[in-house]
């Protein structure tokens, strides 16, 4: 007893607590690895969930468990301040900060189902802003169906979704996404009975519920309906040229092309002329396989110029993860599923690589001294982020760190588990090579204090430590924040710590009561700018 108290007293004095124990006087909680971390508040947790989601679960929790935990977290926030939850959902979703919109739709469905009257109203009003495509609407319907009945408020909100969308846009949405998740436009129209605000709307509703009344050879009189006419017409087209004509004249998207024409380079070349950026990125392998994209083709020039167009990337809200996923798959020359192979075009690979950085927006160098430390421990090898094959948190951290590495001059990259090693990753190295290199580093136990201990030992000058981690630290003899405070004292530098959360759990190694520490979320497109502002004290 006395012995224990003596040990405790000595720890209080020197600020050295093994990670298997909480730092005395703090609210640290036991993490899933049996060590102690700080709990993040429900709002930080909400941000992590909205951006990282719970797909695939985590190293420690099944998808079901992680989803349930996050749902409870969202419910706490709703009880606390429902309108704020709606605002946060809209902000993340509209700016395209998350790799997937599903967590936002899920949280919005919870607000619309379980919030107070005001929250429910705000959530339903925000529906068109968060559910921007037919697929989004189907997902929202599926989430609501689980969480509440189809009351009048919900029916009205879904009805308004149809009423307020312009006829041309609605036609395009209906053509691209006819049904998902067991929901179709027919189901939703029958539940919500929207009013046809125009003749075109009326015909569209009829088409979605009962089909097209006979397809003539002449395009429809109403311009907004010509794409639907072309879609129905394409079903009985006999030649490539007919299809190409329909694509060129009526901007028919890929979803409207009968399968037997989807191996034709001519058809794809026509599709490429008006193809949205995200669809282009998804179809690079297909377009290469059919030899539309070759080392010298015009189509390749078009693709490369689309990927180099930073305005277009931002307008399309194309998420960096979509580009990273395309880059790793495309450059491998082999599909994730099945046995499809292709010969990747080097110019396209390079353009994807640079588009990844563009998608985070323009960053200015801060001229601070950065140490970017990747947690490469076992738990970081857990389920991939946003369901992207191979994109484990540890590999994803490397890509995230490269964003800061690309703009800052003074950067030391580190990788640690129970040991630490310095990494030399050049901004000129391609991301898929960086990911492969990091993937090869052996995994081990977790000690998140190592980056700060390394800086103390080597007398490195560091203004900002960035640790990319799940904060499941347990192995070390000193807590990360204690190691940081010790480094501050020894070096005389008021060093900061940014924790980039790579998993939607509730832990952080950052002390919420220390203004020099910040939690951000990995793969939030806003994170690099937040990090740079924080390092400059602009927040």
d(CA 205, CA 526): 39
Query: Please, where are the H alpha helices in 26-133?
Result: 42-52, 63-94, 102-114, 117-125, 127-130
- Minimum distance, C-beta of residue 238 to Ca ion, in the bound complex (Å): 59
When the beta carbons of 331 and 379 are compared against Ca ion, the nearer one is 379
Q: Which residues pair with 36 in a beta bridge?
A: 30
d(CA 306, CA 457): 47
Scanning 88-96, 304-312, 353-361, 439-447 for contacts with Ca ion by CB under 5 A, the matching segment is: 439-447
Q: What is the DSSP string of 485-510?
A: HHHHHHH----EEEEEE-SSSSEESS
- Minimum distance, C-beta of residue 378 to Ca ion, in the bound complex (Å): 6
- Minimum distance, C-beta of residue 455 to Ca ion, in the bound complex (Å): 21
- Minimum distance, C-beta of residue 379 to Ca ion, in the bound complex (Å): 3
* Sheet containing strand 29-30, strands side by side: 29-30, 36-39, 507-508
Site string for Ca ion, 303-342 (x = CB under 5 A): ----------------------------------------
DSSP 274: T
When the beta carbons of 423 and 509 are compared against Ca ion, the nearer one is 509
d(CA 21, CA 35): 7
When the beta carbons of 32 and 331 are compared against Ca ion, the nearer one is 32
What SS3 state is found at 12? helix
Which residues are CB-neighbours of 227 under 8 A, at least 6 positions away?
A: 168, 171, 172, 175, 250, 251, 252, 256
- Minimum distance, C-beta of residue 401 to Ca ion, in the bound complex (Å): 17
- Minimum distance, C-beta of residue 481 to Ca ion, in the bound complex (Å): 17
Binding to Ca ion by residue 471, rule CB under 5 A? no
Closest to 254 measured CA to CA, from 282, 226, 289: 282
- Minimum distance, C-beta of residue 469 to Ca ion, in the bound complex (Å): 8
When the beta carbons of 408 and 472 are compared against Ca ion, the nearer one is 472
When the beta carbons of 431 and 478 are compared against Ca ion, the nearer one is 478
- Minimum distance, C-beta of residue 47 to Ca ion, in the bound complex (Å): 21
- Minimum distance, C-beta of residue 480 to Ca ion, in the bound complex (Å): 13
- Minimum distance, C-beta of residue 424 to Ca ion, in the bound complex (Å): 24
State how far Cα 63 lies from the chain centre.
17
| CA dihedral sign of residues 134, 135, 141, 145 | positive
Tokens of 271: 């599709």
Query: Please, where are the H alpha helices in 378-447?
Result: 393-407, 431-440
The only residue of 55, 472, 482, 519 in contact with Ca ion, by rule CB under 5 A: 472
When the beta carbons of 453 and 495 are compared against Ca ion, the nearer one is 453
Binding to Ca ion by residue 42, rule CB under 5 A? no
d(CA 384, CA 382): 6
The only residue of 37, 173, 358, 446 in contact with Ca ion, by rule CB under 5 A: 446
Count of residues engaged in binding Ca ion, rule: CB under 5 A: 4
Site string for Ca ion, 493-532 (x = CB under 5 A): ----------------------------------------
When the beta carbons of 472 and 519 are compared against Ca ion, the nearer one is 472
Strands (DSSP E) found in 107-231: 179-180, 183-184
Provide the residue count of the chain: 539
Site string for Ca ion, 365-394 (x = CB under 5 A): ------------x-x---------------
- Minimum distance, C-beta of residue 377 to Ca ion, in the bound complex (Å): 3
E strand or H helix that includes residue 468:
strand 464-469
When the beta carbons of 56 and 83 are compared against Ca ion, the nearer one is 56
Closest to 466 measured CA to CA, from 494, 500, 438, 510: 500
Binding to Ca ion by residue 19, rule CB under 5 A? no
When the beta carbons of 35 and 103 are compared against Ca ion, the nearer one is 35
Tokens of 216: 């003539």
Site string for Ca ion, 244-283 (x = CB under 5 A): ----------------------------------------
Which residues of the shown chain bind Ca ion in the complex (CB under 5 A)? 377, 379, 446, 472
């Amino acid at each position: 007893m006395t012995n224990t108290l003596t040990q405790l007293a000595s720890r209080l004095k020197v600020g050295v607590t093994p990670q298997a124990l909480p730092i005395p006087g703090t609210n640290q909680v036991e993490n899933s690895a049996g060590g102690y971390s700080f709990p993040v508040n429900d709002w930080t947790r909400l941000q992590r969930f909205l951006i990282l989601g719970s797909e695939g679960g985590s190293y420690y929790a099944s998808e079901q468990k992680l989803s349930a935990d996050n749902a409870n977290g969202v419910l706490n926030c709703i009880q606390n301040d429902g309108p704020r939850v709606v605002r946060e959902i809209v902000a993340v979703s509209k700016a395209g900060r998350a790799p997937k919109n599903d967590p936002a739709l899920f949280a919005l469905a919870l607000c619309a189902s379980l919030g107070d009257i005001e929250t429910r109203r705000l959530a339903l009003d925000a529906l068109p802003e968060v559910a921007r495509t037919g697929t989004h609407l189907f997902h929202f319907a599926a989430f609501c169906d689980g969480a509440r009945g189809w009351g009048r408020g919900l029916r009205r909100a879904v009805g308004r979704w149809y009423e307020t969308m312009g006829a041309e846009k609605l036609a395009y949405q209906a053509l691209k996404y006819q049904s998902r998740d067991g929901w179709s436009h027919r189901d939703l129209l029958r539940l919500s009975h929207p009013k046809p605000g125009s003749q075109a709307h009326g015909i569209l509703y009829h088409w979605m519920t009962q089909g097209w009344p006979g397809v003539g050879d002449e395009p429809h009189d109403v311009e907004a309906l010509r794409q639907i006419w072309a879609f129905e017409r394409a079903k009985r087209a006999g030649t490539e040229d007919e299809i190409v004509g329909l694509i060129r004249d009526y901007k028919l998207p890929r979803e409207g092309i009968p399968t037997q024409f989807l191996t034709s380079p001519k058809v794809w070349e026509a599709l490429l002329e008006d193809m949205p950026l995200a669809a282009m990125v998804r179809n690079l392998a297909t377009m290469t396989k059919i030899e539309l994209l070759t080392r010298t083709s015009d189509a390749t020039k078009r693709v490369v110029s689309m990927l180099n167009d930073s305005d277009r990337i931002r307008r399309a809200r194309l998420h960096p993860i979509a580009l990273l996923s395309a880059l790793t798959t495309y450059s491998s020359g082999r599909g994730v599923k099945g046995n499809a192979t292709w010969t990747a075009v080097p110019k396209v690979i390079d353009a994807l690589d640079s588009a990844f950085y563009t998608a985070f927006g323009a960053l200015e160098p801060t001229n601070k001294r950065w140490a970017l430390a990747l947690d490469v421990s076992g738990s970081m090898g857990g389920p991939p982020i946003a369901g992207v094959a191979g994109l484990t948190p540890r590999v994803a951290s490397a890509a995230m760190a490269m964003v800061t590495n690309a703009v800052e001059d003074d950067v030391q990259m580190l990788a640690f588990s129970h040991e630490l090693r310095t990494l030399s990753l050049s901004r000129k190295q391609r991301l898929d090579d960086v990911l492969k290199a990091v993937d090869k580093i052996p995994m081990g136990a977790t000690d998140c204090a190592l980056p700060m201990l390394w800086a103390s030992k080597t007398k490195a000058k560091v203004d900002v430590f960035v640790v990319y981690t799940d904060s499941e630290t347990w192995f070390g003899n000193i807590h990360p924040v204690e190691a940081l405070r010790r480094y501050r004292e020894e070096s005389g530098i008021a060093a900061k710590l940014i924790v980039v959360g790579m998993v939607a759990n509730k832990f952080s190694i950052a002390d919420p009561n220390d203004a020099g520490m910040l939690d951000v979320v990995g793969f939030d497109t806003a994170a690099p700018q937040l990090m740079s502002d924080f390092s400059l004290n602009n927040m």
